[in-house]
């Protein structure tokens, strides 16, 4: 049996919605994009939602709106996707790597204070795998030190922190609709914020710094007239993507429930098995279950993580690794980063892999993945 690492869940509704947009003829950001933003803001309980073409664009513009500039410092977890720190570099600012907790793989709030200097401007907590970070601690530190919190919520739609949906917690929250994420529009992203001024600025910056987008100009008399008020980017989404997003959003909760069920089935299969170490979700946090991270115990097995992945692939199971710590990359090494103080990252990286967890997985597929893991453990146990 072959089980791919991911397969997006696309229903007839998404296909019809996209076809309708193609037939109607307005393809770029327009009425559907506005409708998607309203529905999204409503869904996460945020006053403002601005649609862009990726979470990377969302993070970039949120940092601009938060006032991050040249030579500022921004705290990011050392184990995240490249874009979390890359956007900081776009602004000529310096990402400062913070270690992660071993059981949750989340930014260690207890190690934040020691990384703060008088140049620190913002913190980017990453809700790894869909589990919200310790937002009480992070927001508390940010408030007392006058820092902005820009959440990388690329994994965490829908997720809740102490009952509050992610999207209504920090200053800025950035979501991804990349092909493998919990809802997808092929490529896409969203910034949610409580700050009306920030939202308006992000709206301008996503289309070249133009004061009105093509859609709203169309409804005014001098539709051809506009001003460029500052240098912006080409980060807008399309109505094709938005139409798909509206339909995916309606299914976001049921797809989350399907993923949670898979996680529970894996947990039940792996709990107490010598050689495996279960990922922890803390009380008060509802994960979106974008990932199912599994840690192997290299001391309990005769093979390491890399070999474990090969064995899974040999049994037809698609696997991935989230993430290679940023200080391992040539670019960051070239900037002088060496992973000092990131023992948690190193520990997690050498023993972690991600198993398939997509909503349309059948019981046979789930059991094949779980059975393959147990089979490998049995074969290579010390
Ligand atoms: C996928 C991802 C992003 C980037 O999302 P895009 O929409 O592809 O730009 C950012 N951060 C994390 C943690 C991600 O996994």
Q: Is the CB of 184 under 6 A from ligand 1?
A: no
Mean pLDDT value of segment 274-287:
97
Bridge partners of 285? 161
Using DSSP's 3-state secondary structure scheme, residue 19 falls into: helix
For residues 163-181, give the mean pLDDT: 97
Question: How much is the pLDDT for 225?
Answer: 84
CA–centroid distance, 219 to ligand 1, in Å, is 34
Query: What is the distance in A from the centroid of ligand 1 to the CA of 125?
Result: 13
Is pLDDT above 80 for 215?
Answer: no
Kindly tell me if the per-residue pLDDT of 220 is higher than 90.
Answer: no
Distance 271 CA to ligand 1 centre (A): 30
Q: Is residue 189 lining ligand 1, measured as CB closer than 6 Å?
A: yes
Q: What is the whole-number distance in angstroms between the Cα of residue 165 and the centre of ligand 1?
A: 19
Pocket lining: 54 vs ligand 1, CB cutoff 6 Å: yes
Ligand 1, closest atom to CA 180? 1
- Any catalytic annotation for residue 181? yes
Q: What is the pLDDT of residue 4?
A: 98
pLDDT score for 223 = 77
Neighbours of 53 (CB within 10 A): 22
Assess whether pLDDT exceeds 90 at residue 333.
yes
Q: State which ligand 1 atom lies nearest to the alpha carbon of 128.
A: 13
**pLDDT-derived band at 222, boundaries 50, 70, 90:** confident
- pLDDT on residue 165: 98
Cβ proximity of 50 and 64 under 8 Å: no
- Helix intervals (H) in 302-382: 305-314, 330-334, 343-349, 363-380
81 lines ligand 1 (CB under 6 A): yes
3-state secondary structure of 119: coil
pLDDT at 214 over 70: no
Average pLDDT (354-371) is: 98
Confirm or reject: Cβ of 108 under 6 Å from ligand 1.
no
Instruction: Evaluate if residue 106 carries a pLDDT over 80.
Output: yes
The percentage of residues in the chain with a pLDDT greater than 90, rounded to a whole number, is 95
Q: What is the pLDDT of residue 221?
A: 73
Residue nearest to atom 2 of ligand 1 (CA): 154
Q: Which atom of ligand 1 is nearest to the CA of 57?
A: 9
**Cβ(55) to ligand 1 under 6 A?**
yes
Tokens of 159: 């997720």
What tens digit of pLDDT does each residue of 108-147 get? 999 999 999 999 999 999 999 999 999 999 999 999 999 9
Mean pLDDT of the chain: 96
What does the pLDDT look like over 173-213, one tens digit per residue? 999 999 999 999 999 999 999 999 999 999 999 999 998 76
CB 107 less than 6 A from any atom of ligand 1: no
Rg over alpha carbons for the chain, rounded to the nearest Å, is 21
The one catalytic residue in 181, 197, 234, 378 is: 181
**Which of 52, 154, 182, 289 to probe ligand 1 with, by most ligand atoms within 8 A of CB?**
154
pLDDT for position 284: 97
Structure confidence at residue 224 (pLDDT) = 82
Q: Which ligand 1 atom is the nearest neighbour of the CA of 59? A: 10
Mean pLDDT of the region 342-349: 98
Query: Cβ(154) to ligand 1 under 6 A?
Result: yes
Residue 241, ligand 1, Cβ within 6 A: no
Please calculate the CA angle 203-207-213 and round it to the nearest 5 degrees. Answer: 75
Give me the pLDDT at residue 109, please. 98
Mean pLDDT over 327-347 rounds to: 97
Ligand 1 centre distance from Cα of residue 301 (Å): 33
Distance, in Å, from the CA atom of 343 to the CA atom of 367, rounded to the nearest integer, reads 34
Give the pLDDT score at 211.
82
Using the mean position of ligand 1's atoms as its centre, give its distance from the Cα of residue 304 in Å: 28
How far is residue 242's CA from residue 238's CA, in Å, rounded to a whole number?
6
- CA separation for the pair 319, 154 (Å, rounded): 19
Mean pLDDT of all residues in 1-15: 98
CA of 381 to the centre of ligand 1 (A): 36
Average pLDDT over residues 26-32: 95
76-98 pLDDT per residue, tens: 999 999 999 999 999 999 999 99
Nearest protein Cα to ligand 1, atom 13 = 81
pLDDT above 80 (res 38):
yes
């Amino acid at each position: 049996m072959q089980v791919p690492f991911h397969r997006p869940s696309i229903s007839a509704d998404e296909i019809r919605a996209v076809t309708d947009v193609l037939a109607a003829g307005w393809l770029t950001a327009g009425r559907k994009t506005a409708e998607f933003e309203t529905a999204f803001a409503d869904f996460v309980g945020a006053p403002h939602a601005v649609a862009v073409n990726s979470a990377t664009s969302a993070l970039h513009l949120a940092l601009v709106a938060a006032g991050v500039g040249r030579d500022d410092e921004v705290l990011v977890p050392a184990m995240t996707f490249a874009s979390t720190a890359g956007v900081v570099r776009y602004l000529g600012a310096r990402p400062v790597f913070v270690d992660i907790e071993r059981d949750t793989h989340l930014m260690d709030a207890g190690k934040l204070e020691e990384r703060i200097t008088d140049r620190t401007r913002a913190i980017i907590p990453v809700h790894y795998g869909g589990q919200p970070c310790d937002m009480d601690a992070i927001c508390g530190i940010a408030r007392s030190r006058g820092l902005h919190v820009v959440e990388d919520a690329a994994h965490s739609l829908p997720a809740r922190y102490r009952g509050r949906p992610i999207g209504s917690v920090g200053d800025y929250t950035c979501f991804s609709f990349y092909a493998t994420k919990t809802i997808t529009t092929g490529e896409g992203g969203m910034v949610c914020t409580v700050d009306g001024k920030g939202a308006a600025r992000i709206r301008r910056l996503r289309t070249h710094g133009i004061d009105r987008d093509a859609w709203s100009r169309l409804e005014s008399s001098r539709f051809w007239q506009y001003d460029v008020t500052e240098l912006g980017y080409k980060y807008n989404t399309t109505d094709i993507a938005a139409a798909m997003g509206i339909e995916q959003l309606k299914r976001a909760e049921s797809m989350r429930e399907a993923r949670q069920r898979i996680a529970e089935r894996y947990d039940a299969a792996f709990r107490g098995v010598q050689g495996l170490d279960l990922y922890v979700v803390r009380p008060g946090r509802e994960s979106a279950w974008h990932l199912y991270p599994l840690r192997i115990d290299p001391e309990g097995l005769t093979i390491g993580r890399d070999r474990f992945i090969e064995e899974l692939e040999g049994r037809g199971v698609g696997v991935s690794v989230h993430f290679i710590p940023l200080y391992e990359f040539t670019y960051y090494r070239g900037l002088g980063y060496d992973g000092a103080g990131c023992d948690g990252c190193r520990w997690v990286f050498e023993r972690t892999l991600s198993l398939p967890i997509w909503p349309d997985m059948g019981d046979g597929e789930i059991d094949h993945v779980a059975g393959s893991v147990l089979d490998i453990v049995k074969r290579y146990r010390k």
